[in-house]
Structure formats: C-alpha cells, structure tokens
Amino acid sequence: MDKMSQLLKLLEKTDYIEINEFRMDFEELELQIMPAMQRVVQQAVTKQAAIQETIKTMEAIDFVPPIKDYPGEVAQVQLGAGSRKPVYLGGQQALYRFEEPQPNPPVVTFDVFDIPMPGLPRPIREHFSDVMEHPGDWAKKAVKDFGANVVTIHLIGTGPKVMDKTPRQAAEDIEEVLQAVDVPLVIGGSGDPQKDPVVLEAAAIAAEDERCLLASANLDLDYKRVAKAAVDYNHAVLSWAITDINMQKTLNKYLMKEGLTQKDIVMDPTTCALGYGIEFSIDVITRTRLAALKGDKDLQMPMSSGTTNAWGSREAWMKNDAWGPTDYRGPIWEIFTGLTMMLCGVDIFMMLHPQSVQILSEIGSTFTKEYLTTDVPDISNWITELE
Amino acid sequence: MQVTAMDIYRLLPQTNCEDCDEAACGEASCMAFATKLSEKEAQLELCTEISSEGFAKLESLLAPAVREITIGNGDKTTTIGGDEVLYRYELTYYNPTSLVIDVSDNLSDAEFTERVKVIEETEFERIGEMLTLDAIALRNASGDAGKFAEAALKLKKAKLPLVLCSFDSGAMKAALEKVGDERPLIYAVNESNLEEMAALALEYNCPVAIFSPNDLEKMKQMSRVLREKGIEDIVLDPGTFVEEGIGDSLDNFVMIRRLAVEEQDEDFRFPILGIPALTWLYEKDEIQGGIREATIAATLMNKYADMLIFHGTNIWELIPVLTLRQGIYTDPRKPQAVDAGLYEFGDLDKDSPILMTTNFALTFYTVEGDIKGKTNAYLLVLDTEGRAVDVSLAGGQLNAEAVADLIKETGIEDKVETRTLIIPGLAAPVSGEIEDESGWEVLVGPRDSSGVPDFLDKLKEKS
C-alpha cells in the first residue's frame, strides 16, 4: 500500500485528526479528498443530524417543580428577651426549601452542666476540662470559642441521688450563667419528677423576663407547676413525650389549658440515637411536622432534639480497635443523630461536641436559602479531578 | 401511591381456586392473595389461573413507583430502587442504599489490589446481621481508555459488582469490551455523550446513569430520550454539592422522588445516585474529610439516595453509615423484637446468676454478645413490645408487675435456689418496686451490658 492508502486505512474509524507542532512550506497545494475521507464527512453529517433531532426532542420537554400548598404552619417561638440576644424557632409554612425557604435556620445549643460531669466522654471532656468547675465559664467558652447561639444548662446537681442541690443553689447557678453570656438559655432539670418542677420554678424566677426554655414538662411530673412558672415569669416550655404522637398531642393540649400558647411551647418527641431506635424518631417527627402543616393546631410547634443521647451509644464511646478511634466515631454519631432529626423537621438541637455543632449549623444554614441561589462549583470533571 | 388490595383483586381471576385442594398461591382466597400482593409479601407469578392479559395489567399496576434495578449478575449483584412511598412509616423503604467505594484506574498494581481487598473485606456486625459494602466504582481518573479497560479486566475477579465511571464513550466502550457481560452500571450519560453512551447501554444491555448537575429540566429531557430509545434501567445523578450547595442537592433528591411517587412522572421513576466522594475535591485532611464525607452520605441517605459512591475506606467512617442504613431500612410494620422468656448461657446450676433485659432486638443481641462465652448466666427477657430499657421504662412496659409475672411464667424459681435478680443499670428507678412485687432481692447491674462479666466476677468474689 502506498502511504496515502495506509493513512486512509488508519482513518477509517476516525472522526477528526489533530496535528501537533505541524509546519509545512509550499508554493502551491492541491488537496484531493479521497473516498474514505468523504465517508467520514458523510458520517459526521448524519451524526450531527441525529444530535440535532435529539436536541429538538429534548427542548419540547418542560420541567415543573413539584411544589405543594399547605393549609397549616408551624408557630414561631422566641427564645431570649431582656438582656439576651433573641433567637427564633419554627415559623415554617412548607416542608422543603424549594417550596419556600425556612424563615429561621435550625439552632444548636451547647450542653453545659452545673457539676463537673465526670461521666462525659473523653472527646468532649478534653474541650471543656478547664471550665467544668464553673457553669458560667463553661457557658462562656461554648459561646466565645465554639459559637453557640444558645446554651443549655442542665441542673443535674439538683438530683436527690447526685448532689441534692437546693432550688436556691440552682437559682444561683442560673444567675451565674446569665451573667456570663448574653445568649438565650435552655434550663434543664435532673430528671427527678418530684424535684424538677420545684427547681425549674426557682430557675424561672431567677431568670424572669429573659425568656428561657424550661426543660421539661411531661406527663410524669407536675407539669402544671412548670407551665405556671413559664406564664408568670415569661418563659417557654419544652413539652416532652416519648416517641408517641398522641401522647405529644395530649400533653400540648394540657399545657395550653394552663395558659401557654403555641408560641410558648417547643416539643421534644424524643430522640432515639443512631442505631438505637433512630427510625422510631424519624417516623414520629416526620408525622408530627406533616400534621402541623396539614393544620393540626395541637402539633404546630417547633421541635427539639436531645441529640446528646447519641453519646450513650456504645459505638460512640466504647474503645474498640476494630472500630477505629472514638475521637472520630463519637462526633459522627452525634452529627448523624442530629442531622437525621434535622432532615425530618427538628428546629433546635442540644449537642456536646464542637465539631458536631459546627457541621450541623453549616448544613442547617442552607435551609433558609432559595433553591439554586448558591454558587456551586463545576463538578462536571469530577471523575478525573478526584485524587 | 400505594395500590390497594381491592384494585388488585379486581384484576385477579377471582376463582379462589375452588376446584383445587390447595391454591398455587398458598392463600385461602383471591382477596387474601391480593392483600399479600399489595403489601409486597407475595409474587404475582404464583397465580396459575390468571390470563396473560390480566397478568400484564397487574404487573404494570404493581410496578413500584421507583423502578427496581439490578447491577451485576450471577452471584455479584446489588439491587436498588423499588420504593413506593415518600415516608418510611407509610409502608417501608425497600432495597437498602447500595454503598459503593471508588477505585481509580491510575493506581499501581499493588495499591489497586490492596484497595479492592479492603472494600471486599469491610464488615461490621450489628443486631445479628453482618453489614457489608455492595459494589466497586472504577473511575477513569487517568483519562486513558486503555488503562480504564485494563483496570476493568482486573476487577473481573473481584467479589462485588461494578460501576464504570467515565464521561468518555471511547473509554467506556473499551471497558465494556472487557466486562460488559457482567452488567456493570454505565456512569454516566451527559449532554455531549448521550448518543454514544445510549448505544453502548443498548449493545451491552447494561443500566445507565444520567449526570445532570443542578438541572432537573435537562435530566428529564435526557431521561425521555433514553426511554424513547428503549432503555429501561436508568439511574439519576442530579449532582452532589458537598459544601454550601448541599441544600440544592437535597432539593433535587426530594423533587425527583416526589415526582416519582406522587406525580408518577415516568421520566423520574428511577433510583437516585449520590456521590459523597466529591468531598475530597475540597478537603485533603483524612480525618476531616472522612467526617464530612460521612455527613454528606447521611444527608443524602436520609433523603432518598439509592446508591452512594464513597472515596474513604476508614472503618470509623463507614460504621455510622452502615448503622444508619440498617435503621432506615428496617420494616416499621414489624417490631424489632425477639421472643420473651428465659435464655441460658454457659454451664448453669442452681446457684447461677439471673440477669434481666428487654426484648428489643438490639438490646437483646447486644447483651447476648456481651455474655455469651464470657460468663455463665440465665437471662430473663421481658416483653416490652420491642422497646429498649430506657424507652420501655418511660413508656411503662418495663414495670414491677411485668417483671414479677416474668419470673413466675418462666419457671426460673424451679431451676435455681437464688432469689436475686440483676436488672439493667438504666432500670434502677424501679428496683424497689420490683423487690416489693416479686419478693426477690434486686441488684442494679451496669448501665452498659459490656460490664456484665466483670460485674458477675466481682459478685462471686464477694460471696
């Protein structure tokens, strides 16, 4: 075969030729298009026509976003007043941001305790070991170093089997934290059903008009006393039911009979940790939010998650070489638990680890933006760009 | 939308198989069979009386809102899609999210072999179930068709099905020439390669993914074109934006699934693919990257991702992902419970210790794992309707009376002379009441059952 035929043979299955560093000197040039070349051109023309046809079909298809109307809406609850910088929870009128962005980003609160809490997992203790003797310092660190916009002070020390601190001592702890930070507070008891209402009442008086969230009212304790303290001293109440939507409805109704309104109640439908029943919480929280948007007035309140429950899971804290270091497992366990609740509609998260708080806040902040208004990077070459 | 049993019954032969001793479907009546079909607990093929026309109608009626697609063949498969509902409490989610790890075609031989081995061997046991990864995504990182094909050939020996990742149809063709008979997922069609990739999908009869980042209109158009060419197995990738753009990714995932389930939009009735691996385009630190990649995976898995491609292989990153998947894909209609009653571990006699726990499957298997082979004990399992210790305590299923009844019903008092019950640490608040109700002495055990063997050893030393 002569050189030209060889070249054309090579070109038989070629659409185009790229010639690098090519230089040619000539006075007169005559090009002869050979039959094989013509076939290539012909194929290219046919292919172009097919692509044109495809593009034409494609242009005829419209996309309509599946947006819905909801008859109900979630009440907006204000936390923080007086000397506090307020934050707002709830206020949603739709399920997803492509329908309507959320009016308020989800809020993350840092857990702080009135005693040094020797039982806290190491990955958390190491961030706070220098401030654990003083709840005020602890709260300040959470706000200053880790950007908390709410702090939860758990009055664990009031527990009869813990330190049996008096309601008066609890009130002093609250005053210390109020002095130390200017963010709103969530005030938690020790979990003792006899003592909690008394302790929360004392705390409510100490924080009069600062609009704290009293945690919690539930059916196992004197919820009327907690509700009255909130009404009398201008606070909101956390209404806590155990993964049961009917129990939640009942409790909310009872609380509203005591003079609280939708704008004074935050619900805690119970957060079961990742791997420890998280699917029960997914179902209850999803159903609660849907019910609110469909118009159920007894469930139209924002929701809270005790995300720290995640640290109770053995995969979060247990040393086990086959599972890798708890320094990473722990935060992921907390992030997953909170994130899953967030995606089902929870508005405020009680959390422990600085990195968990940071990542959850970042994702939560995107919820208030409109669909396709964020600058996103070009990922069209990810297959080769990824290392 | 879920099809009702009545919709199905109308299309069944309604013969109730009266002339036969036993109906082929194994049900007492056509209505019972229709109910099973509506709950996806029976196969239409079991009915021997149905006409071919009726079969075709029912088959299309029963087709899930999201098409079920199998990648791979033989003993190397992963199945995705098949969902009917937006919320798991309405029915259940089918086919757990397929977890895939990428391998690039420019690794050295040794690195390549090692990475594939890690993927194949990753496992984590939970609640009596071994959790593992599902597929390998071969990435044409080199941009070289020859290298891509060569790497694909090496994966023929791997134990998992394949996803072939390249936007270059020439490279895809080269790889399919090596492994096209194994039904890999072709990733991916985009606007510029649509014709060629579609031809390859048809030629090799492989499922194919559409890549249309942040553009659902274009995605719908490409899906329509592929469907019109006769391609049925399609996977949708609307782009995974791992930083601030994650909000857009979430919106896209939700819109696609809502269009499939509620609008029955034929162009979107396909499984969705997310790529948390994109985290590593921006994050180079192995730990930060691992935490963030897992976070993106959790975000998308919670909102309908049927398949996820990862880059990280650290076990601490994958354990939470595997655990979340296990939770989301349990069947909410069935309590995760074991039988209540008496369980025996090791060599027992009349002085053996007696422990108590609840019948929540996770609680039971955790306790079992902590004591089996490590200590000798009786274990009383209380029916708490599948609730954990703290939850059943709060909900009232774990109460003194129930525990006293359990002691009587199991006949444990005939087997042992001891009258001491060890209850979980979390059940401490009811210890006094149990003593009063049962007449037994109650000891509060450790909060976590991993402490039980130590607890029992110390108890023995004391006595």
Q: pLDDT digit string (tens) for B100-124?
A: 999 999 999 999 999 999 999 999 9
Domain check: are B283 and B308 in the same one? yes
Over chain A, what is the mean pLDDT?
Answer: 91
Euclidean distance between CA atoms B284 and A126, whole angstroms = 25
Domain check: are B70 and B53 in the same one? no
pLDDT at residue A340, as a whole number:
98
Residues 6+ positions from B451 with CB-CB distance below 8 Å: B445
Q: Is residue B336 part of a domain?
A: no
B49 versus B99: the higher-pLDDT residue is B99
Mean pLDDT over A174-192 rounds to: 97
DSSP string, A94-138: SSSTTTS--SS--EEEEEEESS--TTS-HHHHHHHTTTTT-HHHH
CATH number at residue B437: 3.40.50.11600
Among the partner residues B294, B303, B391, nearest to A277 by beta-carbon distance: B391
CB contact under 8 A, B332 and A279: yes
Please report which helix (H) or strand (E) contains residue A150, including its range: strand A150-154
Q: Is residue B335 part of a domain?
A: no
Full domain range(s) for residue B82 = 66-329
Mean pLDDT over A46-56 rounds to: 73
Mean pLDDT over A278-286 rounds to: 95
Over chain B, what is the mean pLDDT?
Answer: 93
> B-chain residues within 8 Å CB-CB of A65?
216, 255
Domain check: are B222 and B94 in the same one? yes
Q: pLDDT digit string (tens) for A54-111?
A: 767 677 788 999 999 999 999 999 999 999 999 999 999 999 999 999 999 999 999 9
* pLDDT > 70 fraction of chain A, expressed in percent and rounded: 89
- For chain A, positions 294-353, list CB contacts with chain B under 8 A: 314-315, 318, 322-325, 328-329, 331-333, 335-336, 339-340, 343-344
Residue B417's pLDDT band, with cuts at 50, 70 and 90, is very high
Final residue of a domain: which of B279, B294, B329? B329
pLDDT at residue A158, as a whole number:
97
Domain check: are B21 and B141 in the same one? no
- Write the single-letter amino acid at B297: A
pLDDT at residue B143, as a whole number:
96
Out of A8-22, A268-282, B102-116, B437-451, least confident range: A8-22
Among the partner residues A242, A340, A377, nearest to B302 by beta-carbon distance: A340
CB contact under 8 A, B214 and A61: no
pLDDT at A22 over 70: no
> A-chain residues within 8 Å CB-CB of B246?
363, 366
- For chain B, positions 65-124, list CB contacts with chain A under 8 A: 87-89, 102, 104, 124
pLDDT at residue B129, as a whole number:
87
Could you count the other beta carbons within 10 Å of the beta carbon of residue A181?
24
Mean pLDDT over A127-136 rounds to: 95
Euclidean distance between CA atoms B188 and B198, whole angstroms = 10
> B-chain residues within 8 Å CB-CB of A288?
none
Q: Is residue B425 part of a domain?
A: yes
Chain B contact for A104, CB < 8 A? no
pLDDT at B421 over 80: yes
Out of A27-36, A246-255, A337-346, B428-437, least confident range: A27-36
Nearest Cα to B100, choosing from B320, B274, B300?
B274
Q: Is residue B346 part of a domain?
A: yes
Mean pLDDT over B169-187 rounds to: 98
CB contact under 8 A, A323 and B88: no
Final residue of a domain: which of B298, B329, B360? B329
Residue B15's pLDDT band, with cuts at 50, 70 and 90, is confident
- A109 burial (CB, 10 Å; 0-12 / 13-18 / 19+) is buried
Number of DSSP helices (H) and strands (E) in chain B, helices first = 17, 17
pLDDT at residue A17, as a whole number:
64
CB contact under 8 A, A376 and B395: no
pLDDT at residue A3, as a whole number:
67
Domain check: are B19 and B131 in the same one? no
B153 versus A51: the higher-pLDDT residue is B153
Chain A contact for B285, CB < 8 A? no
Q: Is residue B334 part of a domain?
A: no
* pLDDT > 90 fraction of chain B, expressed in percent and rounded: 76
Domain check: are B199 and B247 in the same one? yes
Beta-ladder partners of B102: B137
> A-chain residues within 8 Å CB-CB of B360?
277
Beta-ladder partners of A78: A88
Domain check: are B73 and B218 in the same one? yes
Out of A144-148, A223-227, B310-314, least confident range: A144-148
pLDDT at residue A32, as a whole number:
63
Out of A65-74, B86-95, B96-105, B270-279, least confident range: B86-95
CB contact under 8 A, A335 and B303: no
Chain B contact for A372, CB < 8 A? yes
pLDDT at residue A34, as a whole number:
64
Q: Is residue B410 part of a domain?
A: yes
Domain check: are B73 and B58 in the same one? no
Among the partner residues A283, A355, A385, nearest to B281 by beta-carbon distance: A385
**Least Cα separation, residue B35 to chain A (angstroms):** 24
pLDDT at residue B146, as a whole number:
97
Only one residue has tokens 């004074």, namely A264
Residue A30's pLDDT band, with cuts at 50, 70 and 90, is low
Q: pLDDT digit string (tens) for B229-253?
A: 999 999 999 999 999 999 999 999 9
pLDDT at residue A27, as a whole number:
67
CB contact under 8 A, A275 and B326: yes
Domain check: are B74 and B186 in the same one? yes
Euclidean distance between CA atoms B211 and B209, whole angstroms = 6
- B408 burial (CB, 10 Å; 0-12 / 13-18 / 19+) is exposed
Domain check: are B116 and B244 in the same one? yes
Among the partner residues B139, B281, B319, nearest to A323 by beta-carbon distance: B319
Euclidean distance between CA atoms A40 and A9, whole angstroms = 12
| CA distances to A102, A331, B92, B129 from B322, in Å | 30, 16, 18, 11
Sign for the pseudo-dihedral over CA of B298, B300, B305, B311: negative
CB contact under 8 A, A244 and B395: yes
Out of A38-42, A158-162, A383-387, B419-423, least confident range: A38-42
Could you count the other beta carbons within 10 Å of the beta carbon of residue A14?
11
Q: The pTM is what?
A: 0.86
Q: Is residue B41 part of a domain?
A: yes
CATH number at residue B108: 3.20.20.20
pLDDT at residue A139, as a whole number:
97
CATH number at residue B34: 1.10.15.40
pLDDT at residue A45, as a whole number:
74
Residue of chain A whose alpha carbon sits nearest to that of B263 = A66
pLDDT at residue B2, as a whole number:
64
Out of A62-76, B10-24, B249-263, least confident range: B10-24
Nearest Cα to A323, choosing from B131, B209, B153, B387?
B131
The answer to whether A79 and A89 are in contact (CB under 8 A) is: yes
| CA distances to A112, A160, A195, A350 from A157, in Å | 12, 8, 11, 19
Domain check: are B149 and B260 in the same one? yes
Nearest Cα to B400, choosing from B382, B377, B378?
B382
CB contact under 8 A, A359 and B366: no
**Least Cα separation, residue B328 to chain A (angstroms):** 6
DSSP string, B313-339: --HHHHHHHHHHHHHHTS-TTS--B--
pLDDT at residue B16, as a whole number:
85
pLDDT at A4 over 80: no
Residue of chain A whose alpha carbon sits nearest to that of B211 = A380
Residues 6+ positions from B56 with CB-CB distance below 8 Å: none
Per the structure, the count of domains in chain B is 3
Q: Is residue B290 part of a domain?
A: yes
CB contact under 8 A, B391 and A382: no
pLDDT at A198 over 90: yes
Mean pLDDT over B398-424 rounds to: 94
pLDDT at B398 over 70: yes
ipTM of the complex: 0.87
- Write the single-letter amino acid at A58: M
Among the partner residues A66, A333, A376, nearest to B248 by beta-carbon distance: A376
Final residue of a domain: which of B276, B296, B329? B329
> B-chain residues within 8 Å CB-CB of A363?
246-247, 295, 299
CB contact under 8 A, A275 and B327: yes
Domain check: are B294 and B319 in the same one? yes
Euclidean distance between CA atoms B203 and B247, whole angstroms = 37
Sign for the pseudo-dihedral over CA of A45, A50, A53, A55: negative
Sign for the pseudo-dihedral over CA of B46, B51, B56, B58: negative
Euclidean distance between CA atoms A357 and B240, whole angstroms = 22
pLDDT at residue A42, as a whole number:
74
CA A110 to chain centre: 14
**Least Cα separation, residue B285 to chain A (angstroms):** 13
Euclidean distance between CA atoms B116 and B139, whole angstroms = 13
Euclidean distance between CA atoms B444 and A209, whole angstroms = 43
- For chain B, positions 136-175, list CB contacts with chain A under 8 A: 139-143, 165-167
